[in-house]
Structure 1
Amino acid sequence: MTNPTVYDVVVVGAGIIGASCAHHLAQQGHKVAVLEAKAGAAEGSTGLSFASVRAQWADGLNTELSWRSIRFYRDFQDRHGIDIGYQPNGYLFLVPEANWERQLHAVELQRAHGVPVEVLDVDRAQKITPFDPAGIGGATWGTADGQIDPHSATNAFLALARGKGADVFFKAPVDAIDKAGELWTVSAGDRAVTARHVINAAGGWAGEVAGLAGLDVPVVHSRRNVYATAEGALDSYVPMTVDLATGVYMRSEGRRLLFAGAKPTEVDGYNTAIDWPWMEELLALAADRFPWLVELPLDRRACWAGTYENTPDHDGIVGADPREPQWINACGFSGHGLIQAPEIGRLVTEQVTTGAITSIDLSELSLTRFQTGAIENSVSLVF
């Protein structure tokens, strides 16, 4: 059935990026529709993420986008009366000796953006998370970093959007996109939504959605496995801890410990089957740094796999398509969409409302960087 309403904006995807866009757009008075293929919100990458947030980056743009977003999460309950599970329980990077000077430069940059980050020697870092210090030059500790509840945050954004008149449609996988004059028609089965702007927030499916409109957006799925110990396996609390030498990361979740790490040989494509052989390899990789980890009992029932939505340079794509200025991409965040969703929603709204994003220089996230070859791969703290 065709919806006779002409919307200002149709958002494709109800993960946290799409939900944030819907909220910010509706707050500015835009008539918004959201189309989501799955039966509920945050059922893709968002809900299967590690749920950690940080403002520690090696480049200025990602630092600024992340820090603005963390402050938004921090203040969310005071502003809107909804608890989204923000917990500033810290984020610890264990940095190899060879990378220590570069990490110190990153800390200077982060502090210049107002990010609260501490430089720790090995002894202080070991008091936070126990580890073998061999080859570690030092550690950095983000005191405002931590975690949020991705389901609560996504549903909160959508509830606020609905409160301002947005329509949200689940079980609505987009299967056709057409344009006539200044209006887009986005079809999902027997539902057709007409709008002046399209926001492509389809996560790992963003490339396929763009293809329906004859556009090219280089985003692919990349599986990430999350493994869990048995409940109560570890007495002490472990904040988010990343060993940059091996790429192993971990944090407590209730009375369990979660741990993960990107598999170097992972093949692109949507896959949420748990890779059990990689768990054994990951434990072997972690054994020298965290010998206590390999002694903990595991619970296979508490493990899961989700996907990152990766671009070739592991940076997001934000802004109007150069061929179709009323088509706006907000996708490809390569594991940091949850971190940056509030600010991305604000910037997408700026694009729709004013026709351009001028409050911050987002040229590094422009789609044209792939077409011109101007890829700098500055995001060195993605894992």
Structure 2
Amino acid sequence: MNLRPDAVVVGAGIVGAACALRLAERGLRVSVLEQAESPAAGSTARSVAGVRAQFATRTNILLSQRSIAEYAALPEAGYCASGYLLLFSAVQWTAHQAALALQRSLGVPVRALSPLEAQRITPFDPEGIAGCSFCPTDGSVDPHGITFAYLRGAARRGAELHTATPLTAVTRSGGVWRLHTPRGTLEAPLLVNAAGAWSGEVAALAGLDVPVIPARRMVFATGPLGRHLGYPMTFDLTSGVYLRSEGERLILGRADVADSGWREGMNWDWLEPTLEAALARFPWLEQATLDRRASWWGYYEVTPDHAPILGRMPGADGWINACGFSGHGVMHAAAVGHVIAQEALGEPASVNIDALRYERFGQAQAGLHDLQL
């Protein structure tokens, strides 16, 4: 173990892997610490794996656009441009017009559809739906494949990966961070907090308050349907329920906003509220069966405004946050890797992240709200 790297990345999920690669590319000696037995074992492995550029803020759109472009060029990413179909109520549709205009101005090939046109993509009950949007370059990826590709790239440039290496204490002295682990103590002038749902706890070890908490999410899977229906990610903004094809199955879910904290395992009590909303919008689901063994759960890493925390931590020299993505980590990881490397080296950012910096929590939260899918 290199006990004196230039930078330590805490977390070997997709975001940490992207940061490690881009830092190593710049010639920094990088160590990656992961508490689990293998990389991509936390939220990355349990993601629904969707990627979309249909956001309402410029920063999020650009982070997604650049990430999707990188995934499309990476064979290990398994990028599938299956699209995202969003369904809006009348009030939501009126409010969404500004987002559609912004997306188009940035080159996102999004289309506005009537409910009738949208039903040709995914059948649904149009009751209460006033308008829909569809982007054909949104879709899905293989987060596991991306993470390991990034880590292999970082290793070729000298980065070290240490799994089963939890942090036990973090201190700052003499211009370096001291990271204490059961395998030894590392000293580095730069620490990147990319620990996902554990990022708040990692910060607390250093006496810092980074407002990231875990939120459990259920993903329910149907049994094999005998054929690939080819439905894109379809999200009903009126109820919060989503579904998409996954091979010959469908996966579906709906966020339980009360399910926060370190709760493990499937919450089967949430199945009924999810199915109630799903069947109301997609009544043809009655013909499908549920496969409990194929269903899974994972953590979102949630912040107070459901936006990530990126960039240097005020009052903590050498500490950079790359966490709190609130379900959008896979969507933004590729671009975030570049931005964090630029931040570390004092270079202009390829995407302006000022709206996502920690300092916003002491300011008015204007302009940060976006679709929570």
Provide the residue aligned with 2:70 in structure 1. 72
AA at the equivalent of 2:341 = T
AA at the equivalent of 2:62 = E
AA at the equivalent of 2:297 = A
Equivalent in 248, 263, 267 of residue 271 of structure 1: 263
What does 1:14-163 correspond to in 2, within 5 Å?
Answer: 14-77=12-75, 83-163=76-156
1:364 aligns with 2:355: yes
Aligned residue for 1:224, secondary structure, equals strand
Cα contact 2:165–2:183 (8 A) shared by 1:
no
Give the whole-Å Cα distance in 1 for the aligned partners of 2:208 and 2:348: 21
Provide the residue aligned with 1:200 in structure 2. 193
TM-score (norm 1): 0.94
What does 1:298-313 correspond to in 2, within 5 Å?
Answer: 298-313=290-305
Give the whole-Å Cα distance in 2 for the aligned partners of 1:20 and 1:173: 20
Task: Note the C-alpha offset of 1:184.
Answer: 1.4
Give the whole-Å Cα distance in 2 for the aligned partners of 1:340 and 1:218: 19
Aligned residue for 1:208, secondary structure, equals helix
Cα contact 2:192–2:321 (8 A) shared by 1:
yes
Provide the residue aligned with 1:188 in structure 2. 181
AA at the equivalent of 2:359 = T
AA at the equivalent of 2:327 = G
**Measured at CA, do residues 121 and 217 of structure 1 come closer, stay the same or move farther in structure 2, by a change above 3 Å?**
same
Provide the residue aligned with 1:376 in structure 2. 366
AA at the equivalent of 1:339 = M
Task: Note the C-alpha offset of 1:125.
Answer: 0.8
Give the whole-Å Cα distance in 2 for the aligned partners of 1:163 and 1:31: 12
Give the whole-Å Cα distance in 1 for the aligned partners of 2:263 and 2:226: 29
**Measured at CA, do residues 358 and 235 of structure 1 come closer, stay the same or move farther in structure 2, by a change above 3 Å?**
closer
Provide the residue aligned with 1:339 in structure 2. 331
Alpha-carbon RMSD across the aligned residues, in angstroms, is: 1.4
Give the whole-Å Cα distance in 2 for the aligned partners of 1:335 and 1:71: 19
Cα contact 2:87–2:129 (8 A) shared by 1:
yes
Task: Note the C-alpha offset of 1:190.
Answer: 2.7
AA at the equivalent of 1:8 = D
Give the whole-Å Cα distance in 2 for the aligned partners of 1:327 and 1:38: 22
Q: How many residues align?
A: 373
Runs of 4+ in 1 over 3 A off after TM superposition: 356-360
Gaps of 5+ in 1: 78-82
Give the whole-Å Cα distance in 2 for the aligned partners of 1:218 and 1:5: 29
Task: Note the C-alpha offset of 1:122.
Answer: 1.6
Q: Deviations over 1:185-210 (max 9, x none)?
A: 21221322221100000111111111
Cα contact 1:233–1:296 (8 A) shared by 2:
no
**Measured at CA, do residues 61 and 179 of structure 1 come closer, stay the same or move farther in structure 2, by a change above 3 Å?**
same
Give the whole-Å Cα distance in 2 for the aligned partners of 1:103 and 1:374: 22
